[in-house]
């Protein structure tokens, strides 16, 4: 059985993230979505909120997990074959290349598979979605309705 993990902060999950999930779940028998808990980031949503928003959009072969450690450690603990990542630009590619190399050094059994984003998602990022939403801008073309609801609720407080 081939398995993969797609790690990220997903704060919040966007259509770009969901596109990568949709495409990756067709390649693997099991896909884990790793919602990262990072000490250097100040997320708008809790890890539980982010995981719940993702769960509404995944297939039966996808499991959403909150993780505080290294992706390489999760890969080892579950005998995962592949780390899935999405790339939007050459800047993303350089960063992902570095991460892939580091993850390989930590676990030589695991490969990294990069999914190039669809052109319509090239400029969509969680950071920009939050910035636009914070200024009452329209983000409904970037995030699903459940995320839009949560954004409006969170930012109105």
Q: Which positions are annotated as active-site residues?
A: 17, 41, 88, 126
List C-alpha distances in Å: 50 to 47, 114, 119.
5, 22, 25
Structure tokens at 64: 């959403």
The answer to whether residues 36 and 67 touch, using CB atoms and an 8 Å cutoff, is: yes
Residues shown for the chain: 157
Nearest one of 10, 7, 6 to 151, comparing CA atoms:
10
Tally of CB atoms within 10 A around 16: 23
The answer to whether residues 122 and 88 touch, using CB atoms and an 8 Å cutoff, is: yes
């Amino acid at each position: 059985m081939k398995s993969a993990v797609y790690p990220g902060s997903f704060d919040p999950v966007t259509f770009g993230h969901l596109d990568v999930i949709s495409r990756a779940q067709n390649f693997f028998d099991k896909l884990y979505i790793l919602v990262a808990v990072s000490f250097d980031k100040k997320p708008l949503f809790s890890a539980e909120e982010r995981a719940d928003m993702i769960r509404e959009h995944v297939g039966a072969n996808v499991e959403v997990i909150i993780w505080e450690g290294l992706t390489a450690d999760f890969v080892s603990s579950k005998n995962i074959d592949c780390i899935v990542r999405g790339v939007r630009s050459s800047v993303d590619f350089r960063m992902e290349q570095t991460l892939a190399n580091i993850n390989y050094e930590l676990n030589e059994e695991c490969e990294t598979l990069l999914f190039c984003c669809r052109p319509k998602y090239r400029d969509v990022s969680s950071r920009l979605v939050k910035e636009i939403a914070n200024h009452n801008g329209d983000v409904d073309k970037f995030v699903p309705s459940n995320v839009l609801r949560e954004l409006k609720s969170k930012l109105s407080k």
